A and B are shown apart, each in its own frame.
Chain A
């Protein structure tokens, strides 16, 4: 593997890590507030469908993004209603939301477009297109010189290669998602809201005693989770791919959940965990079976690796992952 090939794999790792990162941060806000969320998958799927559908109808990807966020927030609202207002089982609510999204996306897409549960494929202004950063070698240079982009990058200096291949040429959502990491850290650890949010996941009775509404705080966290999942889903169908297909999240919501545990419910760790899992996906996409010396690592093992790593972390053999203390329990005010 030469340097450029490595860069290409890292580039695709980054692109594949973004939906995981957004969903992981989404789960972070929800679970830090004490609401378990195994419905990340469903919310992403619902958002992916709505974003692609509205982008296809209006031709405007921003309206698509808003619609995707809206769909995800509606599902998040159902989760909030079930687990906060009616003190239902948060896990069962998550399972229901995953099913609801899996079914509804196909039913709605079929009803609107009659293309077998897909949306029409998107192009131009109906999807997020790569941004060429200043001084990077990109498609415009290729068009100017009349040569292929790969050749131009191959001839450039290593620093220019890193800049053009890895850093430049992503869609806007990729840069936004990366910015969401320090922002989430700042909100959680440097604002009053963040302090209360973390407290409500550890000791809701203390927050309640301080005169702050547990219900409202938890709802805000769940809705934030919906917004982030919405961006993640919209990214899948309008940036990573151009259009929605049935079950397109393909377990990403659960990988994000795994990453959340791997990251021990912390924003910066979430970035490294999702980049690692994105890298594993990129390797699978590019190489299928991986040769290590004389031993061939089967592609299925690479597929399962994020889940295996998470189980190992959960088992506490490599650093213990301790979830928020009040996670999963509905809060009942003392009378």
Chain B
């Protein structure tokens, strides 16, 4: 046996990394004098024990699906898009402008144009770093980080000076018209007679996100451009030799990536807050990195990872509510997951690889 079996790479390593991350989190909870088992049951109960919990878990998961797919698409082309946060911020602006522009008659019409608005704004925000990477060789990680901060400043300016209704003190836009309000999971599932909690913000955008998963899968593995992206990601020089344009692939990959991140706003801005507020992204852009890493850049893996992080987010909120553990504990867990599944991947991989190889030799 020369290499590890595929299932070990795809399933076993992320699983072991996850277990290590969770065990360390448990130790930290223990260090604060709380019981890790109680914490775990509180999280599971709060996030998955009721349709109320599921509603929030799926709402967060929808955000992370968009940002996770965004990171994955860029990753396939060998680009690290750390700017999901800024692209989703601008996407929010696009969605808000669409929602406020017209007295939309029905949400089905509004969601199409809002998604388009979010995608266009998100893509536009990714376009400048992409262009600078392709043409001027500016490191895309640094430029996208800078663009996150610039996006925050732009949104702040627009909300305070342009979109804030007269007489209002908060930096937020006006409420969107009724025709843009998206049906929640409660309303959708009531049609088929399944009872679902009324309060959580999970809405029809979940299906948009699932559609995006399928679309990304098809794009990456079933189209010429997807093939070119993967070739370029694996070996830019070979791709260049094969006549694949560096500029074209960098631009396309980043535009799609930014567009996906921008579409997140359909869920968070149009579906949840129903107006544009400061910081509607709430770190989802960064969590997209963790989601893509855990999901091994495959839409199906990303789906599972997004639900996992949705669970962590909702469970963390419950943790802050019912125990003495602050909800920031979840950020720690998230950091450990990124650390072990991403940066310390080889720490888990190398020993496992050695194990598999020694077992393989025994067979012969």
Give A contacts to B, CB under 8 Å.
38, 78, 81-83, 86-93, 95-100, 102-104, 106-107, 110-111, 117, 251, 254, 257-258, 261, 298, 300-301, 303-304, 307-308, 310-311, 314-316, 323
Contacts and interface: CB of A to CB of B under 8 A. Distances in A.
Given A102-B331, A107-B332, A93 B343 contact: yes
Interface of B: 28, 31-33, 80, 82, 128, 132, 136-139, 141-143, 145-147, 149-150, 153-154, 156-157, 160-161, 286, 289, 293, 325-326, 328-336, 338-339, 342-347, 350
A310 B286 contact: no
A102 B328 contact: yes
Given A110-B326, A301-B153, A81 B286 contact: no
Contacts of B143: 311, 314
B162 to A, nearest CB: 11
Nearest to A106: B328
A78 B340 CA distance: 11
A45 B136 CA distance: 33
B328 A107 contact: yes
B235 to A, nearest CB: 15
Contacts of A251: 149
* 4 tightest Cβ-Cβ pairs between the two chains A and B: A103-B331, A93-B343, A99-B335, A103-B332
B157 A300 contact: yes
Nearest to B286: A95
Contacts of A310: 142, 146
B328 A96 contact: no
27 contacts: A78-B339, A87-B346, A91-B80, A92-B342, A92-B343, A93-B339, A93-B343, A96-B336, A97-B339, A98-B335, A100-B336, A100-B339, A104-B28, A107-B328, A107-B329, A111-B32, A251-B149, A300-B153, A300-B160, A301-B153, A307-B149, A308-B146, A310-B142, A314-B136, A314-B138, A314-B142, A315-B136
Given A38-B145, A89-B342, A111-B33, A298 B334 contact: no
B344 A314 contact: no
Contacts of A304: 149-150, 153-154
A254 B147 CA distance: 11
Contact of A300 (B33, B156, B333): B156
A300 to B, nearest CB: 4
Contact of A103 (B141, B147, B289, B329): B329
Nearest to A90: B343
B153 A83 contact: no
Nearest to A83: B343
Contact of B139 (A81, A110, A303, A314): A314
A301 B335 contact: no
A106 B319 CA distance: 14
A304 B146 CA distance: 9
Contacts of A97: 335, 339
A93 B132 CA distance: 25
Contacts of B157: 298, 300-301
B335 A96 contact: yes
A108 B332 CA distance: 11
Contacts of B33: 111
Given A103-B329, A311-B143, A88 B150 contact: no
A110 B132 CA distance: 43
Given A93-B342, A103-B331, A117-B326, A315 B336 contact: no
Contacts of A98: 335
B345 A88 contact: yes
Chain B CB within 10 Å, residue with most, of A86, A107, A251, A316: A107
B338 to A, nearest CB: 4
Contacts of A117: 326, 328
Contacts of B330: 103
B338 A96 contact: yes
A333 to B, nearest CB: 15
B285 to A, nearest CB: 11
Nearest to B334: A99
B130 to A, nearest CB: 12
A302 to B, nearest CB: 9
A86 B32 contact: no
B342 A103 contact: no
Contact of A303 (B153, B331, B347): B153
A103 B157 CA distance: 29
A92 B336 contact: no
A242 B289 CA distance: 35
